[in-house]
Structure 1
């Protein structure tokens, strides 16, 4: 009996200790949240995935892929149905988020390139408004003098996945100890390839769209897409950890945005499958849960919006506008048009085929400046230069000089209406506004054929057109024949 009482006493002590520890833990969390609630300015968390189509989310209509964490943000906040980046490639897309300027204006309009050194980025803009600005994960923007993060944690390698993982421990620790308003970009390496290896996938596991339904019987495509879906699930697990940490340590005055830098199916293009991005936002007590917006917003609008939230205003040289009124429930126009640029140089294929795009809520106009239709007008009478101009046009020989789409009736841009006489006025309006915008951006292209520059960075920066890459071979007779004078040299790259 005494032994039993002793055991009971010990069990009771352990139980009381566990209850005490649990209570202490709850009190610590409560203290952190109380400390956070003292900040009148909201914390801002922007989670950015890498290379994921807007069509591959449950909340955007794909029931085949599992995205519960993103779907939760949409359910608890607002889903934007017309959000865009200005370029469907990594560095140029991210540079817009951090500068409020389109790629041509900020200087990063080719992949692996730098923004202009005099750019005042998000780090300095928000810092002077009382924020600490943090990057956790993938950067892919430069130079460091422009993007001088207050804190920066690199991604973490793990044996179980094909890509690096976000530094979740550092993120959680920061949420727990932050004592001033912060803006944190959590930038994932997922679902960008290489993907997980998934065996036994079938076409029934994949959702097909007009731009890829011809591949339903392509076993390699199905296997690749199944691995991509699995990588999306892995990324959602990371996002779920971030949401849990935010719920545990941060108060309601926390704005959380999820997006992906561009679509993988339209990468390097100016089609919506590349430029249209997922964009969901949660902000308790501000955003009406389960709401949606059809208004056109753009990555260049993100920094002006953050500055507005922080009590400042966008600078006059920024392209973007604040969409804070939409977050607060107003259905107002932010942009009449959004724009897109395409530069196929400075990537592994490196072909000369630049494009520009203008889009309103319904119609979209594209000009492919080195189309096979006009390539002869772009030649320079320099055989080595003209080799690459012709090569670029031939690489995209099925893309016409001009494209016009009715996105209301043809959202996947399958039916080019450029020659429809009843749309002539719409076409001319879009062309006029596009070239006005290009002039304002300082674009090196114009409305006259015969201006088709080869671009590269100063010295050896970037991929030279006259050298082999792992994906492209150059004839020996044309290798190393270009000199600096044959290029439009971008000095800040």
Structure 2
């Protein structure tokens, strides 16, 4: 009888300890905008915009000033984030193919759910997994939609119940988040909530409830705005849709009107962020919830005379990142981190937060050390990849905390291979191509070596499907290709 009672008490204590351990794990909120540039956020230096909740998140936590998407296009960037790997290892992008199930099996949502986390996703899923589609069954709560999704909440099937109160999708995702937060508290389980907003992706469709925020507003143009500041950029970069969109999207003739719509969409996300933060406070779990805010890529709103994204220039490749971890010693000190980080770092960061081992297939590094010391950690170099769109725009770049080197390999009767080298620390507007400066020969040689290192990784690690192998040859310096066919 005594043995039975002792075993019963031991079982109760074990269950209590397990429940206590589960409750001590931090909740994780990962918020992902679509096409949001750094100059759309007040804490990144733009006094023309209103982003009070993003700014508050930055003040409370850490603002990252050298954060890049290693591929600046929706589908590939989302694959990078889910898996912590470069595109040539995810094998996933428009025009190449869907993600394989074995790749998805090591994504952060799958690994966290296996580890006991309650997982939730809403918004633009952005990828398709072979044999699984949108992977709805891999989440406890689902508000995701296929393709580009819709700004009309009622047209997103999984979000229909929020349409009456929030007809515009941006705030509907905040309503979904509030429901997930409440459910996790009731179930006493740690959660990982991932929200991928459609905003501010084209077609520009702001929530009309915020029409007054920027009505009649005149915006200061960036100092590299217009075609006169793009003459030094490669012909290859002008071969894609980014170049004509400067005029097609009326940045040249209606800059204020276009930017009012763009910033109004971002304002809607800011309101949604505020709703989520308020709910964390209301449920008493803000002190055990890590909030990560970023974007899938930036946006070129007229800089250098281009529009859209994809290209390696700062406006499209570098994005806002603010992280608030309530356990960080840096909180409230308005700290900025200038170490080099990338979107491949999110999966390992989220896994480390949850106490889940980081698979050795991941290219990224956890960012948690930077929340203790913003000057120790990050990457010495990163690759930036574009293999989307017209072949001339396909390229590989190498980034360091100070420099960006791109080798534009494509050649035909109108263009020849060229190099671009920018000092993004002292020339953030990328106005001077140092590859053409004799005084920069030493750093050019150094960046060529670093580029070759990134290409070597591609050659060793690229998947053998979805047309990723050939770029290991196409992107080689000093070995111009004679086959420019698609």
TM-score under structure 1 normalisation? 0.73
The answer (yes or no) to whether the contact 1:162–1:194 under 8 Å persists in 2 is no
The answer (yes or no) to whether the contact 2:122–2:194 under 8 Å persists in 1 is yes
Aligned position for 2:331: 288
SS of aligned partner of 2:255: helix
Please state if 1:224 is matched with 2:258: yes
- Residue 416 of structure 1, aligned match among 417, 420, 433: 433
| Larger deviation, residues 195-204 vs 207-216 | 195-204
Aligned position for 2:408: 368
Distance 2:48 2:223 in 1: 16
Please state if 1:130 is matched with 2:120: no
When residues 417 and 400 of structure 1 are mapped into structure 2, their CA distance, relative to the original with a 3 A threshold, is: farther
Distance 1:317 1:451 in 2: 34
Aligned position for 2:14: none
Please state if 1:57 is matched with 2:20: no
Please list, as runs of the form range in 1=range in 2, the aligned pairs for 1:420-431 lying within 5 A after superposition: 420-431=437-448
Distance 2:64 2:395 in 1: 26
Please list, as runs of the form range in 1=range in 2, the aligned pairs for 1:35-434 lying within 5 A after superposition: 39-110=23-94, 113-119=97-103, 120-143=106-129, 144=132, 147=135, 148-154=138-144, 156-157=153-154, 165-178=171-184, 179-195=188-204, 196=206, 205-212=218-225, 218-249=252-283, 250-265=285-300, 267-286=309-328, 287-289=330-332, 290-329=334-373, 331-345=375-389, 350=390, 352-370=392-410, 374-376=411-413, 401-434=418-451
The answer (yes or no) to whether the contact 1:89–1:268 under 8 Å persists in 2 is yes
The answer (yes or no) to whether the contact 1:91–1:112 under 8 Å persists in 2 is no
Distance 2:118 2:40 in 1: 33
Distance 2:21 2:38 in 1: 34
**Residue correspondences, number:** 394
Deviations 1:313-372 (A, max 9, x none): 322221001121111235313200121111233xxxx454311111111111011222xx
Superposition deviation, residue 281 in structure 1: 1.0
When residues 422 and 328 of structure 1 are mapped into structure 2, their CA distance, relative to the original with a 3 A threshold, is: same
Unaligned runs of 5+ in 2: 1-18, 146-152, 155-162, 228-245, 301-307, 463-468
Deviations 1:118-159 (A, max 9, x none): 212112222233323221111111213685333311372459
Aligned position for 1:444: 470
Superposition deviation, residue 219 in structure 1: 3.7
Superposition deviation, residue 262 in structure 1: 0.9
The answer (yes or no) to whether the contact 1:368–1:400 under 8 Å persists in 2 is yes
SS of aligned partner of 2:199: strand
RMSD: 2.9
Superposition deviation, residue 282 in structure 1: 1.2
Unaligned runs of 5+ in 1: 1-34, 377-393, 455-486, 488-493
Q: Which has the higher contact order (CA 8 A, sep 6+)?
A: 2
The answer (yes or no) to whether the contact 2:127–2:134 under 8 Å persists in 1 is no
| Larger deviation, residues 196-205 vs 166-175 | 196-205
SS of aligned partner of 2:23: coil
The answer (yes or no) to whether the contact 1:80–1:279 under 8 Å persists in 2 is yes
Distance 1:189 1:169 in 2: 15
Distance 2:251 2:112 in 1: 50
Distance 1:81 1:315 in 2: 27
Deviations 1:250-297 (A, max 9, x none): 241100011111112150201111110100011223242222111111
When residues 180 and 269 of structure 1 are mapped into structure 2, their CA distance, relative to the original with a 3 A threshold, is: same
Superposition deviation, residue 36 in structure 1: 9.5
The answer (yes or no) to whether the contact 2:170–2:272 under 8 Å persists in 1 is no
Distance 2:289 2:274 in 1: 16
